[in-house]
Amino acid sequence: MQTKSTARGGTRGPYAKTAARQREILEAAVAVFGSKGYSAGSIQDVADRAGIAQTTLLHHFPTKAQLLVAVLEYRDEISPDTPGTREHFTEVVVQQAKNNEGVPHLIELYSVLCGEATTEDHPAREYFVKRFERLRGEYSNELRYLASIGRLRPGIDPGIAGPTIVALWDGIQTQWLLNPEDVDVPQTLKAYLDLIIISPETGSAQQPMADSSGS
């Protein structure tokens, strides 16, 4: 009796072929939706890009909306939102920005779909609403932790600075897509984070100032 997978070889047979076909479709959809947008890019465009019949595509993804959801999940799998790790927040953000430069097609897809999703009936609207809500909360919480250990500069409100990081990242990333030679996303993000976060070498913002009166 044949098994679906082996410990070393992974998935085999029809399951492997199905997974490979779906990946081809998703890559094609990334290219089509990234260049034309979801509204203008058609199922036929994706099928043509993948080199398959439209009926074959619809066998894997019965509707265009289901294909879009799968594309967004695929994007998150390839380019996940990883910033966090407490004391190393700045380093992780900068490294993720550098990693994103290696998948410009996914960044283009994200930017195009994010812009389109502002319309009420767009199938990706809920995805982006939840994503931004999550990121605002996560980044603000990371900054609150840094404030608790004296690593956030005085006067910085984590509830405002967290969403600012999200907005800056998306905005400068769009500028990078338009003019990659003149825009440095990692350095821009680091410059802002250095303004609000105190490096470990500098010392704690919560340390009391020395009394200069001499008394």
What would the two tokens of residue 186 be? 């990692």
Q: What is the pTM of this model?
A: 0.75
Q: Is the pLDDT of residue 2 over 70?
A: no
Q: Which helix (H) or strand (E) holds 6?
A: strand 5-6
Query: Domain spans of the chain?
Result: 15-71, 79-196
What would the two tokens of residue 92 be? 């992780």
Give per-residue pLDDT as tens, 54-102: 999 999 999 998 999 888 888 888 776 666 677 899 999 999 999 889 8
CATH number of 15-71: 1.10.10.60
Phi and psi angles of residue 210, each rounded to the nearest 5 degrees, phi first? -70, 145
CATH number of 79-196: 1.10.357
Instruction: Supply the angle between the helices 185-196 and 158-178 in degrees, to the nearest 10.
Output: 160
